[in-house]
Structure 1
């Protein structure tokens, strides 16, 4: 800067905080981003309490983590915190706690206790009304008369932890009649959706499969159940061999793991309710595809990342793409940690494995279809005829797999198209078409 004129142009606090409210969160994803901080603080229990009280409605997110000192809490409420994030930490940009919370409310209060030996808490608040009035980046110490903060201090009397409080829920409650029955039903609905969302994105932590103690999550006193998208508890689920790839990221090289699964069809699930639950929030067709995990936290689910399109016949195919935070730049993860972009080099590497998975899922789907449609009319067929039909279908699958392994999938698709046009009976015999 020597010899150059320079100017300190700080952004308008009022305008920028208003803009950051629209970064893309909905209520469940905002809660999940706050829970990320609890996981980073070593919490084993996080309780979400969504209380309806008209305009005084509140949300509490309380954990038993190691808590924060007054200086640490002040830094946590800074937009773009100066603290660094280590490998495996769920935070990234230093914005999550603030942007997630203020996307739903106008008053964010955080109460924390970091000492086990001393019952001493600290509390700080971000008040959008105050920031807009002063147009300054101000953090305040909430008044001792604030009943929500006082309640949080009581919760922390037993040990360390942090309580995040959302008040003035202008993005959650309707502007008109926030005390009415519709507003109450909306909060009840949001509580249910939040529990479903948390059970999905944190399922590995809830299961205790993320290399850390099992995480207990509750929403309004109800324990959140883990939602495993791969139905690994089902005996009929097929898991293909895991594959590992190396991806270049600015300044480093990281590893990506691909785990592939063919889920059972409805008639092979141990119970129909399990099949319905595994359909997920987007239902079976749109839930097929890639499930992207960042440091064991699910950040994106469904779709094939541009590798192929959604197909009814491959709806039983799901695959986990797992990477650690050292590859954040390569995956271009967004601020809300809800969307990633597959690196082009990774897309090319995993395409054959994805196509192989889809071929097997397609075959599993069609076998179920053939069984349900043909068995009633073939009961009287000789055993050798049924065996020949099964052998032909197996041969069709083997041809598809051979084309895949020989890296000739595009050529095979053209061959199938010609067969459908010229010899549909052969396509039918080989099980290459729906019946």
Structure 2
């Protein structure tokens, strides 16, 4: 197109900043997005305080990361920051800190220190009231008289780090009577939900690995406990052989890992309370399925991504789908980092593996059902010895299926099953392999 006159049509700061408040965060996911920045800054400790004080209630997210210089802090508060993101960084769109924070509050203040040698902090604030009044994209120096800012500076007296402060919590406290007992109970409940959410989405960071130091997160002084959806510490958990796939995206090829697990039934957990905890926020049926990790951060949990439906008999089946940030476009990750779409190419690759996992989970579930019903047998005339042999045979059938899966010989096992069902249907039934 031939060059002609052009016009600068900047969006209304007041209108657009207000619209961005409704991008889809709730309180726990908003806090998690702020913690992403702490992880990116190399923090080993993140402290979250949710403090009730009527209309002056506030939230602090403080870390011991690298901190930011004044210019870097100003850039961090720009909607759609101009800085780039390297592979493995949890940020993507340059919106998270602002949109997550302002989804809950009207005043966002960030205080940071980047020098270990010099005790010097910088502070900047993004105030929605001023943006709406002036209709300009402005960042201001916060008042030194603000006790929250003074506390943040004191927090950073011992070393580098960043403190994010949420004030004027109009989306958190009730509009009427924000100083009432209901408001206090709401903040307490949000703190509990936030701890549970952070324990889930950052569980790999909290657990720590050889390649990455352990991350300690506290909420109101209580250490966050990691929630491992795969019960890896349970001796009865069965992990199938991992698989890797290559996916094309934006002219390059990225790798996706698939790890599959059959979780133990309640009676095989070391502690029944552990089984209840592993039910997760959505409970066992809806927590079955795929757990999608982006750079080790959990972004989606449960459901089969359109591959198959939820089934009571496969509720013990869970699988990790792991990719790095170079495949963001292929997975179509959203701004809040709470939803992804499985690439069609990947869905086709993993469908057979998912179905194999569900066969084993179904067997494990039915074995549990048979064990429960053995105390009240269907055939009351059957001797106890006969029932015991039947149970042992069913256990043997399940063990054979799992062994075939673990040595990556599932196709051969399916052929063996077919022959046994055809030639010896009574043996197939005894082993729990089903009829012809």
Map of 1:284-433 to 2, 5 A cutoff? 284-377=284-377, 381=383, 383=385, 386-387=388-389, 390-391=392-393, 405=411, 431=432
Stretches of structure 2 that go unaligned for 5 or more consecutive residues are none
Per-residue deviation at 1:37?
0.1
* CA–CA separation in structure 1 for the residues paired with 2:401 and 2:160: 61
1:26 aligns with 2:32: no
Residue matched to 1:158 = 158
1:250 aligns with 2:256: no
* CA–CA separation in structure 2 for the residues paired with 1:217 and 1:77: 24
Residue matched to 2:143 = 143
From the superposition, tell whether residues 70 and 392 of structure 1 become closer, same or farther in structure 2 (CA, over 3 Å): closer
Stretches of structure 1 that go unaligned for 5 or more consecutive residues are none
Residue matched to 2:170 = 170
Residue matched to 1:92 = 92
From the superposition, tell whether residues 393 and 153 of structure 1 become closer, same or farther in structure 2 (CA, over 3 Å): closer
1:50 aligns with 2:56: no
Per-residue deviation at 1:212?
1.1
Residue matched to 1:267 = 267
Structure-2-length-normalised TM-score:
0.91
How many residue pairs align between the two structures? Answer: 422
* CA–CA separation in structure 1 for the residues paired with 2:387 and 2:36: 58
Contact (CA 8 Å) 1:13, 1:132: kept in 2 or not?
Answer: yes
Contact (CA 8 Å) 2:370, 2:391: kept in 1 or not?
Answer: no
Contact (CA 8 Å) 1:355, 1:404: kept in 2 or not?
Answer: no
Contact (CA 8 Å) 2:367, 2:394: kept in 1 or not?
Answer: no
Considering only aligned residues, what root-mean-square deviation do their CA atoms show, in Å? Answer: 2.7
Contact (CA 8 Å) 1:89, 1:325: kept in 2 or not?
Answer: yes
Per-residue deviation at 1:397?
9.2
Contact (CA 8 Å) 2:115, 2:160: kept in 1 or not?
Answer: yes
* CA–CA separation in structure 2 for the residues paired with 1:210 and 1:6: 54
Deviations 1:167-198 (A, max 9, x none): 00000000000000000000000000000000
- Of stretches 330-339 and 208-217 in structure 1, the one that deviates more from structure 2 is 208-217
Q: SS state of the match for residue 67, structure 1?
A: coil
* CA–CA separation in structure 1 for the residues paired with 2:114 and 2:401: 62
* CA–CA separation in structure 1 for the residues paired with 2:97 and 2:294: 18
Residue matched to 2:75 = 75
From the superposition, tell whether residues 383 and 176 of structure 1 become closer, same or farther in structure 2 (CA, over 3 Å): same
Contact (CA 8 Å) 1:204, 1:210: kept in 2 or not?
Answer: no
Residue matched to 2:222 = 222
